[in-house]
Amino acid sequence: MKKNVLMIFSILMLVMVGCNNQATTPAEKEIKIPTVKTAIAQQNNYDPVLRFSGTMVANREANLGSALPGRVEKCFYPVNKNVKAGELLIKLSGELLHQAEAENNAIQKDYDRVARLYEKGSVTAQQYDHVSAKLEASNAKTTMMRNFSEIRAPFDGTIVDYIVNEGEVYAIAPGLKPGYSYTSGVVRLMQLDTVKIAIEVPQVDFHHIHLGQEATVSMEALGDTTFTAVVTRILPYFSTVTRTATVELSIPNPDRIIYPGMYAEVAVNMPSTTGIFVPQESIFNLSGTGQEYVFALQGTHVKRLSVKRVFNVDDMVAVEGIDNGTTILTTGIRKVYDGSEVNVIR
């Protein structure tokens, strides 16, 4: 009797669960179709501009010093003084020069005496040649010591700084200002009538750059003033780290209003061309791949198309990979996948 009751109770429970499942299961599963907005990819003309940044530097720069240490006896010009190539800038202590001059005077006297005797036949040609060679070597040594005791300008320029001051001893005195030459020296000379800027050009843009090409340069320190620069040097190799090539541009600076060290922005204007433009918000980046896509509308469904950015103009992007007139999604792009059905808001 007890077993029968349990069996009847179990049957009733199964019937109730079955009825409940049948009541809560819909006849058809409802599918939610995403609502999206679209735009038309359009072909337009545009003037591409390649933009770079860098730091202004002098056309030429040198830290001038001597091959031998010594005390700085005299600085002939103040900072900001323009000097000509060959002018004497610094006089160093001349102890070694004085010694060389004394030796040279003694050898010169020996030579004069031997030369007179040689004319009279009192000494051999070998003796005369020996003294003559000693005098020649002494003259060269004296000239070398004189050069080591003087620092002259190797090019026309401006004295911008003294690394070692008058009265101090010069030994090894490297320039320690970041961004400028670290070469050991006493005085820093720069050529400022022309200034330069070096930019790093990626491989993808390198074929657009050529010698003699003009660019527009602006500096925040000089407000809205712009300058025309010309490409004067292109280094013939790429960095193995950044995959960029160094390109130098020169700017005339007769008024000296551009200073080395100024941050500058460079705009290289390219020839006018055409491109297929899409809104910035229509481009979808697949995380972790670096690939970019748009979703093209085909009837009531979408197709994912791979695109490549070419140029940006405000909030529009010129791309490769789609045709002119293609209808693309501008909203809901993260709610759809290739082949999704969509509901377009007109």
* pLDDT per residue as tens digits for the range 313-327: 889 999 999 999 999
What's the rounded Cα separation, in Å, for the pair 8 and 27? 31
Residue 18 belongs to some domain of the structure: no
Q: What is the pLDDT at residue 222?
A: 94
Which residues have a Cβ under 8 Å from the Cβ of 266 and sit 6 or more positions away?
51, 52, 53, 54, 197, 199, 215, 216, 217, 229, 249
Q: What is the pLDDT at residue 7?
A: 55
Residue 1 belongs to some domain of the structure: no
**Helix, strand, coil fractions of the chain, as percent rounded to 5:** 25, 40, 35
Residue 224 belongs to some domain of the structure: yes
Identify the CA nearest to 170 among candidates 63, 100, 89, 68. Answer: 68
CA separation (Å) from 17 to 7, 12, 216? 16, 9, 80
177 confidence band (pLDDT: 50, 70, 90)? low
Residue 17 belongs to some domain of the structure: no
What's the rounded Cα separation, in Å, for the pair 89 and 62? 13
Based on the domain organization, do 105 and 117 belong to the same domain?
Answer: yes
Residue 20 belongs to some domain of the structure: no
Tell me the CATH number at 293: 2.40.420.20
**Residue 133: both structure tokens together:** 């060679």
Give the domain-ending residue among 116, 137, 170. 170
Query: Locate tokens 């200073």: which residue?
Result: 259
Report the 10 Å Cβ neighbour count for 99.
13
Report the pLDDT averaged over residues 248-272: 94
- The pLDDT of residue 257 is above 50: yes
Q: Total domain count for the chain? A: 3
Based on the domain organization, do 286 and 220 belong to the same domain?
Answer: no
Based on the domain organization, do 252 and 200 belong to the same domain?
Answer: yes
Tell me the CATH number at 241: 2.40.30.170
Based on the domain organization, do 165 and 249 belong to the same domain?
Answer: no
Based on the domain organization, do 199 and 121 belong to the same domain?
Answer: no
Based on the domain organization, do 70 and 162 belong to the same domain?
Answer: yes
Based on the domain organization, do 143 and 94 belong to the same domain?
Answer: yes
In this structure, what are the phi and psi dihedrals at residue 294, rounded to the nearest 5 degrees?
A: -130, 160
Greater confidence, 329 or 73? 329
Based on the domain organization, do 107 and 142 belong to the same domain?
Answer: yes
Based on the domain organization, do 257 and 279 belong to the same domain?
Answer: no
2 confidence band (pLDDT: 50, 70, 90)? very low
**Residue 155: both structure tokens together:** 């090019």
CB 107 within 8 A of CB 134: yes
Report the pLDDT averaged over residues 153-160: 95
Residue 6 belongs to some domain of the structure: no
Residue 313 belongs to some domain of the structure: yes
Give the domain-ending residue among 138, 170, 202. 170
Domain that holds residue 217: 54-59+192-269
Q: What is the pLDDT at residue 17?
A: 46
Give the domain-ending residue among 269, 304, 321. 269
Based on the domain organization, do 74 and 165 belong to the same domain?
Answer: yes
Query: Locate tokens 């160094």: which residue?
Result: 246
Based on the domain organization, do 314 and 235 belong to the same domain?
Answer: no
Residue 195 is given by DSSP the state: E
Residue 329 belongs to some domain of the structure: yes
56-75, pLDDT tens digit by residue?
A: 999 999 988 887 777 888 99
Based on the domain organization, do 154 and 130 belong to the same domain?
Answer: yes
Report the pLDDT averaged over residues 78-98: 87
What's the rounded Cα separation, in Å, for the pair 219 and 228? 12
Identify the CA nearest to 40 among candidates 326, 335, 314. Answer: 326
Residue 76, burial from CB neighbour count under 10 angstroms (0-12, 13-18, 19+): middle
